[in-house]
Each structure stands twice: as structure tokens, then as C-alpha cells.
Amino acid sequence: MNVMNASIISFLLAKVQDLPSGLVYGLVALLVFGEAALFIGFVLPGETAVIVAGVVAARGHVNIVVLCVIVVISAIAGDSVGYFVGERYGQRLIRLPILRSRRETIDRTLDALARRGVTYVFVGRFTAFLRAIIPGLAGMSRLHYRRFLAANAAGALLWGVLYALLGFYAGHALDSIEKYSGWGATGLLVLVILILVALHLRRKRRDAKDHAQWLRDHPGELSQDPQ
């Protein structure tokens, strides 16, 4: 989380902390829901709203358990809407100017979804840009909705509770929020990269083993001259 995001958190905290609890819940639900469903995530990353609400909960204005439930449900519902929007209108949406400049990233993500859809749906929840586009791209890629929903729900549960508690336990220490949020995201990305590299190497070893087995099973075919 950079300095600009920290400034946004400070600004939002000053505006939100005096609102009635019902309005805080509704605002957070709208922002988290709209991140993928309404593409609000391109303007305001969802974790910013969740962290701010967590800090408000630490000050006793809202209940942290209720907040976590609302965040998780809103994330699942919003991403589901994004999935169906992408399934129906995806080709039109990726022509929008805000997405056209990211076409290379979108194409790589579509390719990754085709190969390891469930993994990318889960991992994408922890990156702001991917969190906004992956539900729609998953719908475009024809990833089965039940598989999408399972991965999305797991990611939303971990993400929602993690960032709500991050704001709650950090309280007023916004500098700590910046530091630990950044470390957490970096650590997760490093872990994902290591897993993907391991899977790639495992697949290469399996392919080499299969090829060696094929050579043993067909010893005479390579020695035959082509007719």
C-alpha cells in the first residue's frame, strides 16, 4: 500500500468514523460489492474501504464480526455479478479505454484462467486490478460457475476477514497498516510464484518421464526411416 492509499485511508477515516453504524455497513457493502460488479475497484480498491471500516470498528462505532460477515457476503455477491456480466458482455467490456491499455495483462489472465482457473480466481482476490477484472474474465473464459464460486468464496473469506482485522487491530496506527498490508501482499505473491514454478517444474519432469517411457515402449519406431 503506497503513500497515496494511506492518504486516502486517512481522508476516508475522517469522513466515515462519525457516520451511523448502519450507514458505515451499507457504504462498505456497496464499495466491496461494486469493486467487480460495477468496476469501482479501478477507482477505489476494496481493501481500502475494509481497512477503514476495521479502524472504525476498533473505535467501537461498528461491530467487527458483523463487518466481516458483510464484507465477505458483499465480495462473493459482487464477484458473482461480475462473472455473469463478463459471460454475457465481456468482449464489449474489454474494448473500454480503461481496459484497452491493459490488454496484454488481460490476455495473460485469460490464458491463466484457461489453464488454472480456480487458482487464479483465488489469488486474484489479493491484487487490486485483478480483483476487479478476474470475475468478468472468468465468465468470458467459460470457467464453470460452481468452480468459480468455490474459489471466489474461499478467497473472499480470507481476504475480507484479513483486511477487516488488519484495520481493527491496527486501530489508529495507519503507518502499521501500510507496512503490514504491503508485506502481506508481497509475501502472498512470492508464495504464489513459488507454487506456480514448482507446478511448472513438476509438469516438465512428468512430461520427460512420459517421453522416456514412450521411448522404452516403442524402441523400434525412431530407428525406422520415413517412407
With H, G, I as helix, E, B as strand and everything else as coil, classify residue 32.
Answer: helix
Alpha helices by DSSP H, the chain: 3-16, 21-37, 46-58, 64-93, 97-100, 103-124, 128-140, 145-170, 174-217
CB distance 83 to 145 below 8 Å? yes
Residue 32 · residue 11 · CB < 8 Å:
no
Please, what is the average pLDDT of the chain?
76
pLDDT at 5: 52
Give the CA count within 13 Å in the CB-facing half-sphere of 34. Answer: 12
State the pLDDT at residue 2.
Answer: 46
Going from N- to C-terminal start, the domains of the chain cover 3-185
Burial annotation 152-187 (CB, 10 A radius, 16+ → b, else e): bbebbbebbbbbbbbbbebeeebeebbeebeeeeee
Mean pLDDT of 163-172: 81
pLDDT over 80 at 94, yes or no: no
- CA distances 82 to 36, 87, 91, 185, Å, are 5, 8, 13, 23
- d(CA 3, CA 86) in angstroms, rounded, equals 32
217 residue type, one letter: D
pLDDT tens, 127-160? 877 888 888 888 888 788 999 999 999 999 999 9
**28 vs 26: CA distance, rounded Å:** 6
pLDDT of res. 124: 82
Distance CA 132, CA 150 (A): 18
Round to whole Å and give the CA distance between 227 and 225: 6
For the chain, the first-to-last Cα distance in angstroms comes to 64
Q: What is the pLDDT of residues 204-227, one digit of tens each?
A: 676 666 656 655 655 554 444 444
